[in-house]
A and B are shown apart, each in its own frame.
Chain A
């Protein structure tokens, strides 16, 4: 069970739209190392984690990744406000726009749709933790 808190984990207030930057940042939502993958990685792996402390950690980190996903989406949303047709074409955001307009859709910067193949959940604690370290660098 999750409850929604009506605030971002870290505030986002962007004054100048920049669709070109949005196109790149979008990958942190639905790309191979994005927050959607991160959240599903931890939240899927926790069920078979035999150590209570680590199962707790996977739950809490996975939850925090959902909050990161919201921050990234807020950034992309605010970077793509008030765009003219000329802005869309000049920035290269037109290729995303034709499919999704300004809707948030999880994909990589290169346009590949989000895929669960970018993470693993093997039911083995050592394998899963190594996967987490590979994915999240030195954070875990």
Chain B
């Protein structure tokens, strides 16, 4: 498993755990164990997202970058400003990536 897949696997696993933990916390907002679990898991999730988006492209508008024309499949002319890289990577439903 390469680094891209490994990081995305961490994002899948921690992201899923956060989704479920949030539902539990909605109706058990004072459970210290659940709060601890949520905080710890969210830290792993945030770190994995940061590492992934730094190396392999954005997962949200917030993490989208502006890359040099001609890179990452960008079709902008070389004289242009840097281009929006949100749409260059495969979409998640394409199934090509992982």
Contacts and interface: CB of A to CB of B under 8 A. Distances in A.
Interface of A: 3-14, 53-54, 56-57, 60-61, 64, 67, 70, 73-74, 77-78
B12 A3 contact: no
Interface string B54-96: 0000111110000000000000000000000010010111110
* 8 nearest CB pairs, A to B: A74-B93, A56-B26, A57-B26, A13-B95, A6-B59, A8-B92, A53-B27, A78-B95
Given A6-B60, A7-B11, A73 B16 contact: no
Contacts of A12: 93, 95
Interface residues of B, number: 24
B29 to A, nearest CB: 7
A7 B12 contact: yes
Contact of A5 (B16, B60, B86, B93): B60
14 contacts: A3-B60, A6-B60, A7-B11, A9-B19, A10-B12, A11-B12, A12-B93, A12-B95, A53-B27, A57-B26, A60-B23, A70-B93, A73-B93, A78-B95
